[in-house]
Amino acid sequence: MSLYKQHRQEIRNYILEVATKLFRDKGYHNVSVEEITLSVGVAKGTFYNLFTSKLDILIEYTNILFSKIEFDNCFDKEKNIEDNVEAFLEKLCEFIRKDEQMHLIFLKEVTPMYGNDILKGKFNFKKILYEIIINSKDYSKVVKKEINSLIEIFSFILYFKLLELANEMKNLVDIKSQIMEEVRYCLYGIF
């Protein structure tokens, strides 16, 4: 990496660090791009060369955290779909607990704009759910309908329950329990 690119990345990382601290301390809507640039000591032009908006910072920060989670070990071929989904949810809850304040800000700010599409790309829960389902011991017994329908339903349940967590400030344990109840209903009540 060239010295220029390395310096640019260092500035980008510092902006991320300072901005997320400001979001935590003051609230997302109470922080302006100008306040971020003044706190970092860079011009607004530098900020906009590195980020398109403060929302971009929020998405980038969550992408960085999300990329560190290893969902691969959430499915065990010896376990059923329900147990594997529960293991996935536990990993997701651990992830949210690490920086709950920032994840709640993310859920409040980003998900209303992108809807269930936020579950694509870096947040590809559909792909993870697909892997969980096909790698579970009871896959052929439980999944009698189109697997894509089941994944759509699971991802919407997950999406709306996470929104509920952010908007109604519900307990993470309660949300996980409600998701599992709906997953059980999907697995054994509908299909």
pLDDT at 189 over 60: yes
The full set of domains in the chain, from first to last, is 3-62 (1.10.10.60), 69-190 (no CATH)
pLDDT at 18 over 80: yes
Kindly write down the DSSP assignment for every residue of 41-52, as one continuous string: T--HHHHHHH-S
> HSE-up of 187 (CA within 13 Å, CB side)?
20
pLDDT in tens, 61-77: 877 777 777 776 677 88
Q: What is the pTM of this model?
A: 0.73
Helix extents (H) in the chain: 3-26, 33-40, 44-50, 54-67, 81-98, 100-109, 111-114, 125-134, 139-142, 147-168, 172-184
pLDDT at 190 over 60: no
What pLDDT was estimated at residue 191?
Answer: 44
pLDDT in tens, 78-98: 998 889 888 888 888 888 888
Q: How confident is the model at residue 157 (pLDDT cuts 50, 70, 90)?
A: confident
Average pLDDT, the chain: 81
pLDDT in tens, 91-126: 888 888 888 788 778 777 776 665 555 544 555 777
Q: What is the mean pLDDT of residues 121-149?
A: 76
What pLDDT was estimated at residue 13?
Answer: 93
